[in-house]
Amino acid sequence: MPSQKERMLSGKLYRAADTEIRAVNFRARRLTRLFNQTTEEQMAYRQTLLKELFLKTGSEIYIEQPFHIDYGQHTTIGEHFYANYDCIFIDTAPITIGNDFYLALRVGLYTAGHPIDAAIRNEDLEYGYPITIGDSVWIGANVVVNPGVTIGSNVVIGSGSVVTKAIPDNVVAAGNPCRVIRPITKEDQDFWAKQKADYVADPDVH
């Protein structure tokens, strides 16, 4: 018979009060508490705590305080990761994030859910579906990503969005529910290439 943790990670109903699950949650709470209490003079220690907290990370990871996560062991992060203040990861199911990833303020990645049927929900049965996000993604402030969502690569999610369904590659998406607004085009690339060229040419920034 599968354990409660195995049921949780496979998307089946489970009970979060299980001893094994609580132990993993306790570990994550301890590590995030230690992380959130570090000072600006403890950058190396912050990195050590984050490397211990997550299942896997790239070499370059930066998270502003405070940060909260349920388990940590169920989250994989790629290279060049940045998360701004007050982000929350509920990694009941796996969260997988690619490279070159930016999270704005108060973004929530929520894999957990509760049954719609009240009688079953009241028995403290829960479930989780994974969240998968590709490379080169920027998620704006106060975005919620719901259980089971996949977001492609080279995507911008507008602030305040509630992402309930898959978002394809190479688009700007926003809204509640979040939907594709437009593709990211050659004109976008040309515009921002010019902005960068102006920056590089400005003697005052060097």
- CA 98-108-111 angle, 5° bins: 75
Nearest-angstrom CA–CA distance, 185 and 16: 45
Burial class (CB in 10 A: 0-12, 13-18, 19+), 132: middle
The answer to whether residue 206 is catalytic is no
| Start-to-end C-alpha separation, the chain | 63
Q: Which of 68, 74, 114, 206 is catalytic?
A: 114
Rounded to an integer, what distance in angstroms lies between the CA atom of residue 137 and that of residue 204? 30
What are the residues facing 169 on neighbouring strands? none
Q: What tokens appear for 60 in the block? A: 């370059």
CA distance 133 to 111: 13
Residues known to be catalytic: 114
